[in-house]
Amino acid sequence: MATVELDDIKKRFGATEVIKGVSVDVADGEFIVIVGPSGCGKSTLLRMVAGLETISDGELRINGTRANEREPMDRDIAMVFQNYALYPHMSVAQNMGYGLRIKGLPKAEIAAKVRDAAELLQLTELLDRKPRQLSGGQRQRVAMGRAIVREPSVFLFDEPLSNLDAKLRVQMRLEIRELQAKLGITSLYVTHDQVEAMTMADRMIVMNEGRAEQIGTPLDVYERPESLFAAQFIGSPSMNVVAAEGREDGLHLGDMVLPNPTGAHGTVMLGLRPEHLSPDPGGPITMEVLLAEPLGANTLLHGRLANGQSFTVSLPGVHRAGHGSQTLRLSIPPDKMHVFDKKSGRRLG
């Protein structure tokens, strides 16, 4: 069992800084999801923890001791790769036991450990197969098995589900979380999928352009996004962001006037989640509906505001928007309004 501390970790490739100082303390047994768009540096960060990339600056501590210079094998970690990285010429059992074989464990002990892990993952039937004879989901399990067998202090996952189809992804998401809870192993999990991040994380790190935009529990990030980026990245459909003018009497969007919960002045960015808006004949927001997407449980209405900005609303149940243009009036509780500084994108208030 282990803690992992990242202390102002930086990564430079030549003159370009790709990780610009990330700090986080991961508690023992915690499941941390690092989430962000491609190119944000999330994989690089994970690979630095694994020891596959050198750390340019800052300190990595595993269990309180500095690990920057340690080889991957000496960090007591296990990693699950995006394409599983199974050795194609080895059987499932050999794949899972390879790390132990290198450690020089006796054959019988390796076999026993492999068997236990296989049972846990329902792989017992497949132990003699080669990776190419397995389905995507099975390969995924073998990659997990290989990580478990080593009994590491830390699990590292690098987008492990991105090669699976949507249905399997949901199933494996649950399995991984269950397994991690059962084994209680500290985990770092990289994904670009905000749904995975929301559903799996104890805490998540929202990364953008080499920086941690926000670190917190999924609900924290959802309810109180610290930056415009985090606000838009987390949540589906994505948050509406519109420019507004803060005055004494409220926030002005063209002719519309909304409450000003933070008392901001000047131009600010106003964030409104589509699911927090509700139809209200006397509401301050006027939207012209152009397209309705009925999803069954709810309906997405896409359209634009009077000032021409595009806008999305999510309404529960089936909402029959008429053909052609239709005007809808909406309101939102002030505590669900997010106001950001226009320049820095940081949250105000």
**Which residues in this chain contact other proteins in the complex, by CB under 8 A?**
50-52, 71-73, 77-79, 81-90, 98-99, 102-103, 146, 150
Q: Which of residues 47 and 347 has its CB atom nearest to other proteins in the complex?
A: 47
Q: How far is the CB of 91 from other proteins (least distance, A)?
A: 12
Q: Name the residue among 345, 28, 338 with its Cα closest to residue 206.
A: 345
Q: Name the residue among 12, 8, 21, 4 with its Cα closest to residue 70.
A: 4
Q: How far is the CB of 72 from other proteins (least distance, A)?
A: 5
Q: Spell out the long-range contacts of 61-68 with Cβ–Cβ below 8 A and sequence spacing 24 or more.
A: 61/3, 61/4, 61/5, 61/7, 62/2, 62/3, 62/4, 62/5, 62/153, 62/154, 63/2, 63/3, 63/153, 64/3, 64/5
Q: Which of residues 84 and 222 has its CB atom nearest to other proteins in the complex?
A: 84
Strand partners, 235: none
Q: Is the peptide bond before 237 cis (omega within 30 degrees of 0)?
A: yes
Q: How far is the CB of 46 from other proteins (least distance, A)?
A: 11
Three-state DSSP state, 179: helix
Q: Name the residue among 239, 237, 331, 236 with its Cα closest to residue 227.
A: 239
Tokens of 27: 């508690």
Q: How far is the CB of 287 from other proteins (least distance, A)?
A: 47
Q: How far is the CB of 153 from other proteins (least distance, A)?
A: 13
Q: How far is the CB of 92 from other proteins (least distance, A)?
A: 14
**Angstrom distance (rounded) from CA 196 to CA 189:** 10
Q: Which of residues 154 and 251 has its CB atom nearest to other proteins in the complex?
A: 154
Q: Which of residues 99 and 261 has its CB atom nearest to other proteins in the complex?
A: 99
Q: Which of residues 158 and 275 has its CB atom nearest to other proteins in the complex?
A: 158
Q: How far is the CB of 48 from other proteins (least distance, A)?
A: 13
Q: How far is the CB of 135 from other proteins (least distance, A)?
A: 19
Q: Strand 298-305 and strand 266-272: pairing?
A: unpaired
Let me know how long the chain is: 349
Q: How far is the CB of 169 from other proteins (least distance, A)?
A: 19
**Angstrom distance (rounded) from CA 104 to CA 118:** 20
**Angstrom distance (rounded) from CA 332 to CA 134:** 50
Q: Which of residues 56 and 326 has its CB atom nearest to other proteins in the complex?
A: 56
Q: Which of residues 127 and 339 has its CB atom nearest to other proteins in the complex?
A: 127
Q: Which of residues 87 and 325 has its CB atom nearest to other proteins in the complex?
A: 87
Q: Which of residues 105 and 183 has its CB atom nearest to other proteins in the complex?
A: 105
